[in-house]
Amino acid sequence: MEVSNNGSIEMGEPYYCKECGRTHQKGKIYQDHFKYAQNQENIEENNEIEDYNEDIESEDIDDIDDIDYDQDEILDDDIDEEYVENEIDERTLDDCIDEVKGLPGVGDATLKKLIKAGFTSLESIAYTPPSIIQEDSGLGEKTTATLIKASMKKLNIGFKSAQDLWEHRKNITRISTGSQELDNIFAGGIETGCVIEFFGEFRTGKTQIMHQLCVNVQLPLEKGGLEGRALYIDTEGTFRPERIIQMAEALDLDYDTVLKNIIFGRAYNSDHQILLAKEAANIIKEKNIKLIVVDSLIGHFRSEYIGRGTLATRQQTINQHLHDLLRLCDIYPQLAVVVTNQVQAKPDVFYGNPIQAAGGNVIAHGSTIRVYLRKGKGEQRVAKMIDAPHLPEGEAVFSITENGISD
């Protein structure tokens, strides 16, 4: 192992991790490290429970009535000001609506307006800009400001330590793509809580991956799924149930059930596409949606906004659309949003690859993780990690077969 002059480990060199007792490669994150962190946490919790039970068994409790619980303290109104964020949100839609109903100034009329506009949880109110809430619900400026402030207070939104964030990151769930090589560049699969963009030329596998994810998201957790449903927004008319059936049968799944668990929406123009994304907020909780697919993100915008005179308006509209999708990830941390994007060629590039993603910097900044797809030999495709806040650049070779995505 090479060591630099200052004694540090060089990028790409192996090193021993004291936390999990494994050898890692600097600059790469391995899924087994996350699994170890999760398992280790569970082991420590179980040990604490066993020690606690042993202490209780070793003591003679003569009179259980001597244990005094102060119910007034438990039911104190101040406890409503604190909100404990569960890693797995088990609240039902009715529970979320009841929380919204409990906000100050929310009567029956206000509640109906909020529900109709899709604001059915504290998170949806707290994370949405006031102007959007006012526009969608018809509420006044002061009422909206009061609701947002109260929601933020109940959710305890503010600064937190990096350790708290790490505890959350350890429990992030992932969807397998069907290819181990492709999963590896994502450190285990498509992660929830972010927007992931796949861009490339035609026939590079973008839509095939989207179909495969819609099937795999329905698998059990131990098989690389999230035990949830998928919502598919098709802007190009390329969604095919026949392909879903092939992929489902390859995994020994009942294709009727798989098809029923995919909620499909055909977007006929850019306004309709934006509307479908907004309406998705109303059914995510109710339908147990764990994956949203937009295939493709920019197709309608490129055909409807023509010429430099419309470029600024187009980019602003795309930016708002992307932030609607990002906001869904904030409201529902167990949700993954995956979009496909087209490419364009730069005419002034004479050396190197002239292909770049369409949509410019707006889509580049709006996507959390970006992957470039290109053709390989025969059925092979190559995926290159272009940008991710926590993953190194890397490439993976996968195949597109009759059974779906595979190595």
Joined tokens for residue 150? 């109260």
Residue whose pair of structure tokens reads 């090589």 in the numeric block: 181
Domain with residue 382: its CATH number is 3.40.50.300
Element (H, E) at 261: none
pLDDT at 69 over 60: no
Beta bridge partners of 340: 198
pLDDT at site 91: 78
Task: Give the model confidence (pLDDT) of 163-199 as tens digits.
Answer: 999 998 888 999 999 999 999 999 999 999 999 999 9
Do 132 and 215 fall into the same domain? Answer: no
In a domain, 335, yes or no: yes
Do 280 and 366 fall into the same domain? Answer: yes
Do 150 and 177 fall into the same domain? Answer: no
Do 252 and 194 fall into the same domain? Answer: yes
Task: Give the model confidence (pLDDT) of 262-304 as tens digits.
Answer: 999 999 999 999 999 999 988 998 899 999 999 999 999 999 9
Task: Give the model confidence (pLDDT) of 343-378 as tens digits.
Answer: 998 877 767 778 889 999 999 999 999 999 999 988
Do 267 and 303 fall into the same domain? Answer: yes
Query: Among residues 124, 155, 186, which one ends one of the domains?
Result: 155
Of 12, 44, 19, nearest to 33 (Cα)?
A: 19
Neighbours of 365 (CB within 10 A): 10
pLDDT at 61 over 50: no
Do 334 and 192 fall into the same domain? Answer: yes
Pairwise CA distance, residues 362 & 102, whole Å: 38
In a domain, 6, yes or no: no
In a domain, 32, yes or no: no
Q: Which domain holds residue 100?
A: 88-155
Query: Among residues 123, 155, 187, which one ends one of the domains?
Result: 155
The answer for residues whose C-beta is within 8 angstroms of residue 9's C-beta and 6 or more apart is 1, 3, 15, 26
Neighbours of 129 (CB within 10 A): 13
Domain with residue 107: its CATH number is 1.10.150.20
Joined tokens for residue 149? 């402030």
Cis peptide before 124 (omega within 30 of 0): no
Do 396 and 279 fall into the same domain? Answer: yes
Do 277 and 381 fall into the same domain? Answer: yes
% of the chain surpassing 90 pLDDT: 62
Do 388 and 240 fall into the same domain? Answer: yes
Do 114 and 198 fall into the same domain? Answer: no
In a domain, 362, yes or no: yes
Pairwise CA distance, residues 9 & 19, whole Å: 17
Neighbours of 271 (CB within 10 A): 12
Joined tokens for residue 354? 């002239």
Pairwise CA distance, residues 95 & 135, whole Å: 25
In a domain, 213, yes or no: yes
From 44-58, 96-110, 304-318, the region with the lowest mean pLDDT: 44-58
Do 279 and 185 fall into the same domain? Answer: yes
Do 149 and 279 fall into the same domain? Answer: no
Q: How many domains does the chain have?
A: 2
Q: Report DSSP state, residue 28.
A: -
Tell how strand 404-406 and strand 395-401 pair up. antiparallel
In a domain, 63, yes or no: no
Of 290, 265, 276, nearest to 214 (Cα)?
A: 290
In a domain, 20, yes or no: no
pLDDT at site 88: 52
Q: What is the mean pLDDT of residues 99-114?
A: 90
